[in-house]
């Protein structure tokens, strides 16, 4: 279903539309749950790269995708890279949201898991 949604959004909205990138991220999440880590990583890297260009570094969707990439990297044993990504997501969420916002606390948790 996520592949179908992505294909449709790519065709109708284009490869770099925020909604298309959300579909890329969603597919990455499903692939992670299926333990298809390399595919999940590729999806999250694609989404993050484009989100950084389209939405910018400190957009909440960009930070969410960064966090998702960090989780995929952690699952693959790429702990140093995962740590860096989670620190980035945490810093951004602290700046945009607050120290006590649930999404910020999720970033604290994710970083703790990697460490």
Is the distance from CB of 67 to CB of 110 less than 8 angstroms? yes
pLDDT digits (tens, 9 = 90+) for 7-61: 999 999 999 999 999 999 999 999 999 999 999 999 999 999 999 999 998 899 9
Separation between Cα atoms, residue 53 and residue 16, nearest integer Å:
9
Domain count, the chain: 1
Separation between Cα atoms, residue 85 and residue 47, nearest integer Å:
14
Q: What is the CATH number of the domain that holds 110?
A: 1.25.40.10
Domain that holds residue 45: 2-114
pLDDT digits (tens, 9 = 90+) for 106-115: 999 999 999 9
Separation between Cα atoms, residue 106 and residue 110, nearest integer Å:
6
Separation between Cα atoms, residue 97 and residue 59, nearest integer Å:
11
pTM of the model: 0.92
Separation between Cα atoms, residue 87 and residue 93, nearest integer Å:
10
């Amino acid at each position: 279903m996520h592949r179908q949604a992505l294909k449709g959004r790519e065709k109708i909205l284009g490869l770099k539309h925020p909604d298309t990138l959300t579909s890329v991220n969603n597919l990455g999440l499903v692939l992670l749950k299926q333990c298809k880590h390399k595919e999940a990583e590729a999806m999250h890297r694609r989404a993050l790269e484009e989100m950084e260009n389209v939405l910018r570094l400190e957009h909440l969707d960009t930070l969410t995708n960064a966090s998702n990439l960090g989780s995929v990297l952690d699952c693959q044993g790429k702990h140093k890279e995962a740590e860096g990504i989670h620190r980035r997501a945490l810093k951004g969420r602290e700046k945009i949201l607050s120290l006590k916002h649930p999404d910020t606390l999720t970033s604290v948790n994710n970083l703790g898991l990697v460490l």
